[in-house]
Amino acid sequence: MARRPNIPLISADQWRGDCLGVAGHPVVRTPHVDALAREGALFRRHYAGAAPCGPARASLYTGLYQMNHRVVRNGTPLDDRFDNIARAARRGGYDPTLFGYTDMVIDPRTTHPNDPRLSTYDGVLPGFSVRQLLPEDEKPWHSWLRARGHAFDDGINIHRPPGAAPDAVDASPPRYGRNETQTAFLTGAFLDWLGEQEKDNPWFAHISFLRPHPPFVVPEPFNRMYDPDDGPAFVRHDSRDEEAAAHPFVAYRLQRQKKADYYPGAKGRVRDWKTRDFKRLRALYYGMISEVDDQLGRIFTALKAAALWDDTLIVLTSDHGEMIGDHWSLGKAGYFDASFHIPLIIRAPRTAAVNDGRAVDRFTEASDIFPTLLRIMELEPTNGVDGRSLMPLLDGTGTAGWRDAAHWEYDFRGIAKRRAETHFGLDSDLCNMAVYRNAAFKYVHFAGLPPLLFDLDADPGELVNVADHPDYLRIRLDYAEKLLSWRAGHLDRTLADMQVTERGLKRAAYPI
């Protein structure tokens, strides 16, 4: 590249990877994202490294698998010894600036026990300057709404449509309009900041949108943009009972999910919702995606108007996916592709050797983002990383030795309330799973529960577990060995790559 690029790292929370027009979704319309993909590269097989938000973002920000960064739940601190995107950008001469949130907890060993940052998982990744924080309580956005004339107190759920029936999934709009969403609020804050930047001084911004994360509600016209009867058939068993019988962990999840986590003010359990309710929720989810796409259009237009487009490298992704009715479930958890397959589009400056409209079908992972940005900024990490730079896939310089599978982990320990430990009768350290997924099979290894194996050619919906089928026992063993080899090959090597000799300390180069 002729100069250091401007870098907006844009994440949209809980956006599943198939919900893009450019990815071939039959219903969802994302014209601005589609246009971005036509100028860059769409990674069709991109996967989160963990879930929920905190663990997923730890992989995104550090380039490490969960087995190394060890952020296992929202609220688990991130070890301060690890390098991350913000610290690296600062070494590269940028002032990395945050709009939104990172869901990172600081290392408690670096501060006083009474530090208020240890009372919330809404902390900021070390290294970032904060221009506009938007934590889970949304107070900065609420204050902004009040300044625009909205009268409400903290006892009112600003997301709940006025007059909505107590237990109905209602497509009525909330109290705020399309120009007043959290996405619009953060977009406006970024555009104000963008106008303050010197054109010849490259910048790094992390724009971290909360949507399409629930609650599933969105203002006009997005609330009725999609008909609930439109969209693909749900991928699931014929009944919840049959779904629950697939595995003890699935049964546990289906039993516990609360409606209020997905629709504002709803009472009871998700298990009581009918198919029509799932369809209405999915239509709202699609509308939320289109609302985010609409605000992305504002950002792209502003970059072009400021003559910055040709000097800007855009990374657009998510932290994890969303079940939205598949397998009778909502949210993100476990092992299903819908929870971990996420979008990734990288659009490089015109000065970079990247083919427009490239579709990449290799398996890529969230941990690849950090080493990719390191490569672009011509930096080295300060510790070992698990991901690999995507530049060879972007510029077509070669894919020799590239991985042929995706891997992710999910830790379901309770820590504070120990609900999973009590339910399964397991120690906390046994409440986890790891997934090895290639084009043909998906193997899911639980530390304390039975394994799963899916023949994806015959069963792309992950409905039939063949782990105990006599015809698949050899394959199950083979994939268990693949998973073991993957873990063995990615143990933390920060000091393992060093050796003291009679000529001093020698170290291996990190392969990024």
CA–CA dist 11, 372 (Å, integer): 16
CA–CA dist 8, 313 (Å, integer): 7
Compute the C-alpha angle 17/141/295, nearest 5°.
Answer: 40
CA–CA dist 287, 290 (Å, integer): 5
Query: What separation in angstroms does the CA of 76 have from each of 53, 57, 79?
Result: 11, 12, 9
Cis ω before 212 (30° cut-off from 0)? yes
Query: What separation in angstroms does the CA of 196 have from each of 193, 296, 305, 408?
Result: 5, 19, 14, 40
Q: Element (H or E) spanning 182, and its range?
A: helix 182-194
Catalytic hit among 53, 86, 186, 348: 53
Helix axes of 275-305 and 182-194: crossing angle, nearest 10 degrees: 10
- Cβ contact 304:15 at 8 Å: no
CA–CA dist 181, 364 (Å, integer): 32
Burial 177-196 (b: 16+ CB within 10 A, else e): ebebbbbbbbbbbbbeebee
CA–CA dist 452, 343 (Å, integer): 25
CA 110 to the chain's CA centroid: 27
Three-state DSSP state, 277: helix
- Long-range pairs of 423-426 with CB within 8 A, sequence gap ≥ 24: 423/252, 424/248, 424/252, 424/448, 424/449
CA 398 to the chain's CA centroid: 27
- Phi/psi for 423 (5° steps) reads -65, -45
Closest-CA residue to 228 (of 263, 172, 274, 278): 278
Q: Element (H or E) spanning 346, and its range?
A: strand 344-347
CA 50 to the chain's CA centroid: 8
- Cβ contact 415:426 at 8 Å: no
Residue 19 among the catalytic residues? no
Nearby residues of 129 by Cβ (< 8 Å), 6 or more positions away: 95, 96, 97, 98
504: phi > 0 → left, psi -120 to 50 → alpha, else beta; which? left
Q: Annotated active-site positions, please?
A: 53
